[in-house]
């Protein structure tokens, strides 16, 4: 739905290997996406992995939510730097 948003204090990567996904990229084959739907849960946290958006070790936190009319289901994904 939106462009990738980065921390204002960190510049997004420039290069071929690490770059943010483009708006409307299909993430349905990512574990943080399908695990929510397959397990009928509303929250999921991945194990640490190297982000293709930033090149940093991170975890993805994902959660489902619905629009005000409760008709459309959305998935919010946030990458958090792993320490």
User: pLDDT tens digits, residue range 13-38?
Assistant: 677 788 888 888 888 889 898 888 88
In this prediction the pTM is 0.79
pLDDT in tens, 27-79: 888 989 888 888 878 999 999 999 888 888 999 999 999 999 998 988 999 99
Query: 12 pLDDT exceeds 70?
Result: no
Number of domains present in the structure of the chain: 1
CA distance 29 to 23: 16
CA distance 37 to 25: 18
Query: 9 pLDDT exceeds 90?
Result: no
Range of the domain at 54: 31-81
CA distance 22 to 24: 6
CA distance 81 to 79: 7
């Amino acid at each position: 739905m939106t462009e990738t948003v980065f921390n204002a204090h960190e510049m997004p990567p420039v290069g071929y290997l690490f770059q943010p996904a483009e708006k409307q990229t299909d993430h349905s084959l990512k574990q943080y996406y399908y695990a929510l739907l397959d397990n009928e849960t509303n929250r999921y946290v991945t194990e640490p992995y190297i982000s293709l958006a930033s090149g940093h070790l991170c975890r993805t936190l994902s959660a489902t939510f619905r629009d005000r009319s409760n008709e459309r289901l959305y998935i919010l994904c946030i990458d958090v730097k792993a320490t």
